[in-house]
């Protein structure tokens, strides 16, 4: 795999450091990019905008005839390496980030297969993931990014009487689902399938990750999954909860993706558990608490916790009685699995998290907030502008990507 300047340029774009002299481009990323893309493909993908454009506009960007560029764009789109959509009957193409994006699309495209391409892709991506997370950890110190968020499983709220009264609509999984009208289950969980290809899978279900709204339609159109009814969607999520999987969604009031994640394979949760970068994912509105008087020390909560936030401890150093469960609030993400599994005594419940920040109401507000955080901009005015634009779009815009106002094709 020969690495060319075009490959390096694309690698820089994947880590959002294009053109910077001090850009950190690990060899593992260059190996991955040169494995997936030819030199010609890398040159064209590097020129793609984040907002999809027709082939003619992209051809002008790379200063090549459209008859040469269009087949390459079609090939990249068919292989799910770029965004390829139809806008009013016209094919348009846009840049797809590495993760979430290219990684997930390639794993889902495999449809659970173990071909040599997917094995090598998994090996190269995992090498990059480990190296990049180690490098970026100190650089995210103090950044409150919150790209995704945890939603407690519905049963945990139902089993916590005080919480069930104060839970917001965006906290309640069933209400989040009820606000939507388009659902899909993807072919295979990207993270658990990658772990299987690397020989370290956990054996938990790989057919329960999903999408709602516009993303569900794209998943179906691209052959990455199948359309399902709301009832089948909820059945899949019940199986996920029974298997100890966590609800991870976009940090939007009306999310698009609803992943069912494990702490051992999921790339997002591993950022929290393995690399201890707590601000990438927003914890849920709640945290788990244990009533020692009800705890019988069965250890079920410790076993099910995806973040190793629960330990079994003696009440006192000299105590002879059974150990009791104790929760580390710094590690608890509020997924509610321990509440759901504590069926015998209901010793575990949820309580409101004091520093909780609600999700963005629209993609505009989400993007503005993340950009300001990354750039280190502190501006209450921009926050108000973002919120105001979100409210106007929600009220007047005919375009919605998820939620009750989205209209599937």
- How do residues 68-108 score in pLDDT, each as one tens digit? 999 999 999 999 999 998 888 899 999 999 998 999 999 99
| 127: phi then psi, degrees, rounded to nearest 5 | -65, -45
Task: State yes or no: pLDDT of 388 exceeds 70.
Answer: no
Task: State yes or no: pLDDT of 381 exceeds 70.
Answer: no
- Interhelix angle 55-62/66-78, rounded to 10 degrees, is 110
Tell me which DSSP letter residue 284 carries: P
| pLDDT value for 142 | 77
Q: What is the mean pLDDT of residues 332-346?
A: 92
Q: Has residue 336 been placed in a domain?
A: yes
Q: Has residue 13 been placed in a domain?
A: yes
Q: What is the mean pLDDT of residues 40-60?
A: 95
Q: Has residue 14 been placed in a domain?
A: yes
CA–CA separation, 274 vs 269, rounded Å?
Answer: 8
Q: Are 162 and 277 contained in the same domain? A: yes
- Sign for the pseudo-dihedral over CA of 358, 214, 222, 368: negative
Q: Has residue 405 been placed in a domain?
A: no
Q: Has residue 347 been placed in a domain?
A: yes
CA–CA separation, 11 vs 4, rounded Å?
Answer: 11
Q: What is the mean pLDDT of residues 166-173?
A: 84
CA–CA separation, 273 vs 219, rounded Å?
Answer: 29
Name the pLDDT band for 380 (thresholds 50, 70, 90): low
- Interhelix angle 5-14/27-36, rounded to 10 degrees, is 110
- Sign for the pseudo-dihedral over CA of 145, 202, 118, 232: negative
- Going by their DSSP bridges, the two strands 53-54 and 348-352 should be labelled as unpaired
- Going by their DSSP bridges, the two strands 281-282 and 148-151 should be labelled as parallel
Q: Has residue 48 been placed in a domain?
A: yes
Q: Are 86 and 158 contained in the same domain? A: no
Question: pTM value?
Answer: 0.87
Q: Are 209 and 333 contained in the same domain? A: yes
Task: State yes or no: pLDDT of 379 exceeds 70.
Answer: no
| pLDDT value for 321 | 64
Contacts of residue 12, Cβ cutoff 8 Å, sequence gap at least 6:
18, 19, 20, 23, 25
111-120: Cβ within 8 A, 24+ apart:
111/187, 111/188, 112/187, 112/188, 112/193, 112/206, 114/196, 114/197, 118/197, 119/197, 120/35
| pLDDT value for 158 | 84
Closest CA to 6 of 32, 37, 31, 29: 37
Q: Has residue 232 been placed in a domain?
A: yes
- Indicate the average pLDDT of the chain: 88
Q: What is the mean pLDDT of residues 16-23?
A: 76
Tell me which DSSP letter residue 293 carries: T
Q: Are 125 and 167 contained in the same domain? A: no
Q: Are 310 and 190 contained in the same domain? A: yes
pLDDT digits (tens, 9 = 90+) for 106-136: 999 998 888 999 999 999 999 999 999 999 8
What are the distances in angstroms from CA 320 to CA 290, 296, 317?
20, 13, 9
Q: What is the CATH number of the domain that holds 117?
A: 1.10.10.10
Q: Are 121 and 248 contained in the same domain? A: no
Boundary-marking domain end, from 119, 135, 151: 135
SS3 260: strand
**C-alpha angle 140/251/218, rounded to 5°?**
115
Name the pLDDT band for 144 (thresholds 50, 70, 90): confident
Name the pLDDT band for 358 (thresholds 50, 70, 90): confident
pLDDT digits (tens, 9 = 90+) for 190-230: 999 999 999 999 999 999 999 999 999 999 999 999 999 99
Boundary-marking domain end, from 135, 166, 185: 135
Contacts of residue 84, Cβ cutoff 8 Å, sequence gap at least 6:
52, 73, 74, 76, 77, 78, 91, 92, 93
Q: Are 11 and 150 contained in the same domain? A: no
Structural domain range at position 22:
5-135
């Amino acid at each position: 795999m020969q690495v060319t300047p075009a490959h390096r340029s694309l690698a820089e774009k994947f880590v959002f450091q294009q053109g910077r002299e001090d850009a950190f481009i690990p060899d593992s990323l260059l190996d991955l990019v040169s494995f997936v893309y030819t030199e010609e493909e890398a040159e064209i993908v590097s020129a793609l905008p984040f907002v999809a454009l027709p082939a003619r506009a992209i051809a002008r960007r790379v200063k090549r005839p459209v008859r040469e560029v269009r087949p390459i764009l079609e090939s990249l789109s068919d292989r799910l390496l770029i965004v390829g959509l139809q806008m009013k009957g016209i094919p348009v193409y846009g840049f797809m980030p590495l993760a979430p994006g290219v990684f997930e699309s390639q794993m889902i495209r495999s449809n659970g297969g173990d071909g040599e391409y997917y094995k090598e892709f998994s090996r190269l991506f995992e090498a990059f993931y480990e190296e990049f997370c180690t490098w970026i950890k100190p650089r995210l110190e103090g950044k409150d990014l919150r790209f995704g968020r945890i939603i407690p499983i519905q049963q945990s709220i139902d089993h916590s009487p005080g919480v069930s009264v104060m839970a917001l609509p965006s906290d309640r999984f069933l209400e989040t689902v009820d606000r939507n009208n388009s659902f899909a289950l993807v072919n295979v969980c990207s993270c658990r399938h990658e772990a299987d290809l690397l020989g370290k899978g956990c054996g938990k279900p790989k057919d329960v990750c999903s999408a709602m709204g516009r993303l569900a339609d794209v998943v179906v159109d691209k052959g990455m999954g199948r359309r399902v009814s709301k009832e089948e969607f909820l059945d899949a999520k019940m199986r996920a909860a029974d298997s100890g999987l966590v609800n991870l969604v976009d940090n939007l009031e009306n999310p698009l993706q609803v992943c069912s994640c494990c702490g051992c394979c999921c790339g997002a949760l591993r950022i929290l558990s393995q690399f201890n970068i707590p601000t990438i994912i927003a914890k849920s509105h709640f945290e788990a608490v244990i009533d020692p008087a009800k705890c019988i020390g069965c250890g079920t909560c410790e076993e099910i916790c995806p973040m190793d936030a629960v330990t079994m401890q003696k009440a006192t150093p000299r105590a002879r009685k059974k150990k009791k469960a104790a929760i580390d609030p710094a590690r608890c993400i509020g997924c509610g699995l321990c509440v759901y599994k504590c069926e015998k005594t209901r010793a575990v419940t949820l309580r409101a998290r004091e520093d909780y920040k609600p999700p963005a109401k629209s993609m505009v507000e989400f993007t503005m907030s993340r950009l300001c955080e990354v750039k280190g901009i502190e501006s209450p005015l921009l926050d108000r502008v973002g919120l105001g634009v979100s409210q106007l779009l929600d009220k007047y815009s005919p375009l919605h990507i998820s939620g009750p106002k989205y209209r599937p094709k």
